[in-house]
Amino acid sequence: MSRNNIIDLRIDPASERQFRRMMQLYVRAKGTDINSAVKNLAQGIGFGLMRKTQPYGASAATGKKFEKSIGIQVYKGAARTPGATVREAHTKSRNSRGRVLGKFYRVKGAPNFEAKGGPEWEKKKKANAGMLKAAWVVAAEKIPGNFGKRRIPKYISRHLNNKSYGMATIRGKGLSTDIDLTNTLNYSTNRNTDIDGGIKEGYKAVIFQVKNLIEGTGRLQGRKNTLI
């Protein structure tokens, strides 16, 4: 559920029995407790939200393509606003939340690469690429626990030192835990479909890891754990 850029993660009641059984097997295989298992799941969902925030995915190649598009966007705004500096045109093209309006960069004709202050502003804006995605990582990493490291490309990881970008609030314990993940950047543009997709992707990724661990541990012990 989304409200003011807050994602409230809750277990679907229809899946609770299957999930409870899986978490119990995971706890035995991992040698951990149910609280850690639920937090691990929530952190995985946070990373899923990162991947479903535009630009979709989390590869270095995606970051380079995104930075290139930002450069074009900057000069497209200048083409629509003759006489203005690149900074003035780009600032004017944003709404109250800081999001660039489509009409400013879907301009017919070539971008105005001759506009004043172009290279400096282009460099500054490219450096901001990945901030929205980083905010979900910051939120996920605020969930306490040692859940291992994930590969994060540089265009995202360079923003992770700003801990104000994301927040995590945890209430309750065990399978009754409520975890709120917050992307605090006010120009977040996550659509509900992206949010739903991010939650599902993160959930599936963690459950896949859990199944592999459970089944692998069962084989090592000469038996197979059965998942409902």
Predicted structure pTM score: 0.73
| Token duo for residue 90 | 């780009």
At which residue do the structure tokens 């590969």 appear? 151
Q: Quick check: 7 pLDDT over 80?
A: no
CB atoms within 10 A of CB 28: 13
| Chain mean pLDDT for the chain | 76
Q: Which residue has the higher pLDDT, 142 or 227?
A: 142
Q: Quick check: 187 pLDDT over 70?
A: no
The per-residue pLDDT for 160 is: 93
Domain extent listing, the chain: 2-58+130-220, 60-127
List alpha helices for the chain, DSSP H: 16-30, 34-51, 60-80, 86-92, 102-105, 118-127, 131-141, 154-157, 192-220
Q: Quick check: 100 pLDDT over 60?
A: yes
Q: 32-91 pLDDT, tens per residue?
A: 788 888 888 888 888 888 988 888 888 999 999 988 888 887 787 777 777 888 888 777
Q: 135-182 pLDDT, tens per residue?
A: 999 999 999 876 667 789 999 999 999 999 999 999 888 777 888 888
Q: Which residue has the higher pLDDT, 39 or 225?
A: 39
CB atoms within 10 A of CB 25: 22
Report the C-alpha gap between 72 and 189 in whole angstroms.
20
Positive or negative CA dihedral for 9, 209, 26, 160? negative
Report the C-alpha gap between 158 and 127 in whole angstroms.
9
